Amino acid sequence: MDLNFIQRLIRPAETKIVLLVLDGVGGLPTEPGGLTELEAAHTPNLDDLAARGICGLQQPVGPGITPGSGPGHLALFGYDPIRYQIGRGVLSALGIDFDLKADDVAARGNFCTLDDDGRVADRRAGRIPTEKNEELCALLRKIALPGVEVFVETVKEYRLLLVLRGKGLSGELADTDPQQVGEGPLEPEPLSAEAERTAGLVKEFVGQAWQVLADHHPANMILLRGFSKLPDWPSFEQVFGLRPAAIAAYPMYRGVAKLVGMDVLATGATVDEEMEALEAHWEDYDYFFLHVKPIDSAGEDGDFGRKVRLIEEVDTVVPRLMALEPSVLLVTGDHSTPSLLKYHSWHPVPVILWSRQCRTDDVDRFGERACIDGGLGPRIPAADLMPLALANAMRLEKFGA
Amino acid sequence: MDLNFIQRLIRPAETKIVLLVLDGVGGLPTEPGGLTELEAAHTPNLDDLAARGICGLQQPVGPGITPGSGPGHLALFGYDPIRYQIGRGVLSALGIDFDLKADDVAARGNFCTLDDDGRVADRRAGRIPTEKNEELCALLRKIALPGVEVFVETVKEYRLLLVLRGKGLSGELADTDPQQVGEGPLEPEPLSAEAERTAGLVKEFVGQAWQVLADHHPANMILLRGFSKLPDWPSFEQVFGLRPAAIAAYPMYRGVAKLVGMDVLATGATVDEEMEALEAHWEDYDYFFLHVKPIDSAGEDGDFGRKVRLIEEVDTVVPRLMALEPSVLLVTGDHSTPSLLKYHSWHPVPVILWSRQCRTDDVDRFGERACIDGGLGPRIPAADLMPLALANAMRLEKFGA
């Protein structure tokens, strides 16, 4: 639904909403006909919640679309992830907790190998180790550009982040990454008149970078893509009238939460520590986004058994969460990560919405097949969950007299 | 679906469609795990119809959105209720059977209390009784404005309707209601150049109203909002090629039916009297909208038992309706009104679509949980029911050769 439409219906209330994201929770059986990770897990508390709540499967972006973490979470926050797209440079910055400012331009970078003719021989510079990356970033940081501040940050292995800080910069630049070997790096072409100065600065930067890196084969050049600035979106609090807080141990998720204006609470990395942060701040906010990462990591590692155990671990904290007496609790994932595929996937994600007035269905098990029969249906758009949560929290006015 | 798209597919037929609206039929259990009003009701005839029809739950406006009666009905008539919005002034006029003309401008009004400094002390003038309202409206009716006719009508308690009738008037005016106490009434600002004259007339009216009401504390002023004119929408008959008739005992529903060009038939207030009206006019129309109000009223009163009994009462007339041999019968509500909440709610509404060729499902019970498993799905947009009804009435051409 359109955010303006929702915003006009918001009314104040004293209720609290919790979104518990089990990152990558949806899965697949290892063998046809078998159980998924979630179905194999012993989850008495989530099953009880499913029985008392309304269930379904949610589709983060669209049919067949495998979501990245950014779109997967934006959808759960109620923002249509196709309309509200985050630039790749900005996503890179969020992923390493870089404190991006409103006027900054960020780009995702690769160290690469150029051959003697100046053509790309390896887009990833032989996947240099992170330590080498840090050493080279220190060199690149010495490059000075007129009128702007330059930040060069290590992401991991061959990946880096470039940020230019100054007035009047634009993210409307074409990539310098040709995306294939055998071609030279491209010019950072401006895609609008306002971007001409920024294009000149980036051109100057990559020119100097080539000189700085010349003797550092295989990492003798950089390629840049996804030039972008922080988006100018309506904040979560503006739209939904909720004071929101994020509890997440990983930078990317804190970053996406910050993007919509959530306060980010300090937390340790375990589920117990995240629960402590939730309890400590329970009175201070109306909405809590609680992010549990390791389930996804187990899926990416192809470790079915570990994914099962991690789901079971989260199950044990559900009573502790319910003891806080939230008005509405949503439990779901930002996408599926089947250990069979070792990667994010397009499969819809099981969801439970619980409130005192949610109108329950006959589902009494939190699992992929069980949730097909739920009252939310087998393909509810993830972004529709936010207005439903607001309604269940008695925070939406009637539409039309 | 877009009405233009549907309109191009319409073909004539001799078939008849009946839409039976049980206002506010959807509900909630009083206790978690209990039955809803509809599930508790003994409804052998509706259950039989559910078994022979195709069932589901329909969402009148969108996920989490609690529909007013206007949007709830427009959706059932096939009009996207977000695209086709009715102004609040117009809705007020419909609600009291005021015969609004195409050029009229209508506004919803409150009697209010201004303090000695001219600031709003009570937006509802102490909720004066309807009799006092009638007395004051009689005084306001004496206000004369140049070139237009003025109507001032009592709605209920502190609420009134203002209508200006004349050529060249515009509804594009800002509210005079500041929506909070401690501020003075606002000027009726024109929101477009065409509205300047109307704004001047309204300003003149509220100025005189203040003089007229000065000695009538607590109702010593009026506040106006929702200035609007009758919308210029394609009529139901133009779009769907059906001659439509409305049978409804309450003004609001007759009004919404008139908005899309339905004929409004005279009827008594009971279900039996509405059935008599239906039988008397069976040969005259192709489409009948039959509205049953008291179920919603029982929900708003929080009277679970009365809501159950009223649903059971409607169940008894289903054979009488089927004896007329409609080609298509739709049974649903315009929204849910759980007696637990004593108010309209966002919960989707059970629906049965019956025709000779509807393709049935396994649902054999008309209830909220039973309908989740129906062939229409658990969240079909209400506006999609109209093309489905047309198809089942063999009134839509094939799309594409």
Q: How far, in Å, are B196, B224, B266 from residue B186 at the CA level?
A: 15, 9, 42
Which parts of A183-233 fold into alpha helices (H)? 196-213
Instruction: Dump pLDDT digits (tens) for A31-76.
Output: 999 999 999 999 999 999 999 999 999 999 999 999 999 999 999 9
Instruction: Give the gap in angstroms from C-alpha A307 to the nearest C-alpha of chain B.
Output: 31
Q: In the structure encoding, which two tokens stand for residue A59, read together?
A: 């589709």
* Residue B359 binned pLDDT confidence (cut-offs 50, 70, 90): very high
Between chains, do A400 and B68 touch, taking CB under 8 Å as contact?
yes
Please check whether residue A361 touches B, CB under 8 A. yes
Position B319 confidence tier, pLDDT thresholds 50, 70, 90: very high
User: Which are the contacts of B289, defined by CB distance < 8 A and separation ≥ 6?
Assistant: B19, B21, B73, B76, B77, B244, B245, B246, B247, B248, B257, B262
> What are the pLDDT digits (tens) for B80-123?
999 999 998 998 998 898 999 999 999 999 999 999 999 999 99
DSSP B184: P
CA-CA distances (angstroms) from residue A112 to A18, A152, A401?
Answer: 44, 15, 62
Distance in Å, alpha carbon of A27 to nearest chain B alpha carbon:
24
User: Mean pLDDT throughout A112-139?
Assistant: 96
Assigned token pair, B299: 């929900």
Chain B, nearest residue to A355 by Cα: B32
CB atoms within 10 A of CB B124: 16
HEC profile for A41-60?
CCCHHHHHHHHHCEEEEEEC
- Residues with Cβ within 8 Å of A34's Cβ and at least 6 positions away in sequence, in order, are none
Cβ neighbours of A401 in B, within 8 Å: 68-70, 88, 91-92, 95
* B231 inside 8 A of chain A by CB: no
The pLDDT score that the predictor gives to residue B244 is: 98
**pLDDT confidence of residue A159:** 94
User: Is some CB atom of chain B closer than 8 A to the CB atom of A384?
Assistant: yes
- Tell me phi and psi for residue A138, to 5 degrees: -60, -40
CB B344 within 8 A of CB B76: no
Which pLDDT tens digit goes with each residue over A211-268? 999 999 999 999 999 999 999 999 999 999 999 999 999 888 999 999 999 999 999 9
What does the mean pLDDT of chain A come to? 96
- For A188, residues 6+ apart whose C-beta sits below 8 A from its C-beta are A173, A174, A175, A176, A199, A202, A203, A206, A224, A227
- Chain A's closest residue to B59, CA to CA, is A376
* Residue A391 pLDDT > 90: yes
CB contact under 8 A, A389 and B88: no
Across the A:B interface, residue pairs with CB atoms under 8 Å apart total: 97
B95·A401 Cβ contact <8 A: yes
Taking contacts as CB-CB distances below 8 angstroms, the residues of chain B near A328 are: none
Q: Checking phi first, is residue B33 left (phi over 0); if not, alpha (psi -120 to 50) or beta? A: left
Q: Could you give phi then psi for residue A111, rounded to 5 degrees?
A: -75, 140
Nearest to A399 among B33, B61, B377 (CB): B61
Please state, in angstroms and as integers, the Cα–Cα distance from residue B55 to each residue in A184, B37, B313, B335, B368, following that order.
61, 18, 21, 16, 10
Interface check for B65 against chain A (CB to CB < 8 A): the answer is: yes
Using the Cβ of B86 and the Cβ atoms of chain A, whether some distance falls under 8 Å is answered with yes
Alpha-carbon distance B299 to B36, whole Å? 11
Does B251 contact A at CB distance below 8 Å? Answer: no
Render pLDDT for B257-274 as a digit per residue (tens, 0 to 9).
Answer: 999 999 999 999 999 999
Per DSSP (E only), the strands in A45-204 are 54-59, 105-114, 120-122, 149-156, 159-165
Q: Give the pLDDT mean for B373-387.
A: 98
Contact residues on chain B for A13, CB-CB shorter than 8 A = none
Q: Which residues contact B48 (CB under 8 A, 6 or more apart)?
A: none
- Burial class of residue A78, CB neighbours in 10 A (0-12, 13-18, 19+): buried
DSSP B320: H
Residue A388: which of B63, B67, B82 has the nearest Cβ?
B63
For the segment B166-189, what is each residue's pLDDT rounded down to a tens digit?
Answer: 999 999 999 999 988 999 999 999
Is B344 an interface residue toward A (CB < 8 Å)?
yes
Give exposure, A98-131, as e/b (b: 16+ Cβ within 10 Å).
bebeeebbbbbbbbbbbeeeeebbbbbbbebeee
Residue A95 confidence (pLDDT): 87
Chain A neighbors of B30, CB-CB under 8 A: none
Task: Please name which of A353, A356, A362 lies closest in space to residue A384, comparing C-alpha atoms.
Answer: A353
Given a contact cutoff of 8 angstroms between Cβ atoms, the answer to whether A102 and A156 are in contact is no
**CB contact at 8 A, A95 and A155:** yes
Beta-ladder partners of A247: A290
B375 touches chain A (CB under 8 A): no
Contact A288, A263 (CB under 8 A): no
Contacts of B334 in chain A (CB under 8 A): none
For residue B401, pLDDT beyond 80: no
Closest CA to B103 of B90, B91, B92, B94: B90
Give the per-residue pLDDT at B95.
86
Q: Which of B61, B64, B369 sits opposite A362 (nearest CB)?
A: B369
- Confidence bin at A291 (pLDDT 50/70/90): very high
* CB-count exposure of residue A324 (10 Å: 0-12, 13-18, 19+): middle
Residue B345, min C-alpha distance to chain A (Å): 8
Nearest chain A residue to B95 by CA distance is A401
Q: Helix, strand, coil % (nearest 5) of chain A?
A: 35, 20, 45
B1 touching chain A per CB within 8 A? no
Cα(first)–Cα(last) distance of chain B, in Å? 20
